[in-house]
Structure 1
Amino acid sequence: MIKYILVLFLLSISILYTPPALAQAIGDPLGVEFGSASGLSNTDPRSTVAGIINVALSLLGIILVTLIVYAGFLWMTAAGNDDQITKAKKILSSAIIGLIIILSAYAITRFVTDNLQQVTGAGTGR
């Protein structure tokens, strides 16, 4: 019984008198500096995702400009063929609608990432 009380007493002392963890003193809450210590890139994950989205939207913009040029080529070489003119008009209208959607997506992405970095202080060096 004394052995049981002694073990319980030592266990309670070790639990009660442990130093605090000081979790609020963490200098890098996102773990961005871990990348440089491990040999990886130390860029912010939000910046990486924003860069990937920007590249994807840029590639889609290039595809849409190519579609607009293709539709113009079809229209100019139609030589009065109404079916080819109708096909060119459909491609052109679809490409313009797609371009509007992509420009809107780019604007929304830019707005969200800029405000996210401003709110979290990622780009300010805080």
Structure 2
Amino acid sequence: MEKLIKLVPYYKVITRLGAIVLLLTLAFAPLGVMATDITDYSTNLGVSEENLDTQITNIIQWALGFLALVAVVMIIYGGFTWLTAAGNEERVEQAKKVISAAIIGLIIILLAWAIVWFVAQGVNDAAGGSGDG
């Protein structure tokens, strides 16, 4: 009897794991049936039918656009810091550093965008695409 009492926590764990496995099995069982359907879900869900390289290019260009926005905000922040420095040389130097770093970042972002655009054009031309990359 003592051996059974010592095993009770293990039975609880095994029972819980079994219940989780059973629930997951029942939850994912319909996926196998749905995989046999040949309905075009991309049009129903509004997913584009673009090529993978075009989608990756769009994601990279979106990210670079976001980073450019951050750089512009940093330039504005540096300008605001400079304007509100009130003659404090430390704050003026800090503002100059922020503005110069943001401008350098913006130049790097623009160069990265140009590289992505040229690479996408090259991949698209090599694949025989329409050149929209």
User: TM-score, normalised on structure 1?
Assistant: 0.66
The offset of 1:38, in angstroms, is 4.1
Q: Deviations over 1:59-80 (max 9, x none)?
A: 0000000000000011111111
Write the distance in 2 (CA, Å) between the matches of 1:89 and 1:38: 55
The offset of 1:123, in angstroms, is 2.2
Give unpaired runs (5+ residues) of structure 2.
Answer: 1-37, 43-47
What residue in structure 2 maps to residue 5 of structure 1?
A: none
Taking only aligned residues, the RMSD between alpha carbons, in angstroms, comes to: 1.7
Which structure has the bigger radius of gyration?
Answer: 1
Aligned counterpart in structure 1 of residue 41 of structure 2, from 26, 31, 39: 39
Number of aligned residues? 89
Question: Using a 3 Å threshold, how does the CA distance of structure 1 residues 76 and 107 change in structure 2: closer, same or farther?
Answer: same
The offset of 1:46, in angstroms, is 0.5
> Does 1:55 pair with 2:57?
no
SS at match of 2:41: coil
Please identify runs of 4+ aligned residues in structure 1 that moved more than 3 A: none
What residue in structure 2 maps to residue 13 of structure 1?
A: none
> Does 1:74 pair with 2:81?
yes
Question: Using a 3 Å threshold, how does the CA distance of structure 1 residues 37 and 105 change in structure 2: closer, same or farther?
Answer: farther
Write the distance in 2 (CA, Å) between the matches of 1:37 and 1:70: 51
The offset of 1:37, in angstroms, is 5.9
Q: Which has the higher helix share?
A: 2
Give unpaired runs (5+ residues) of structure 1.
Answer: 1-35
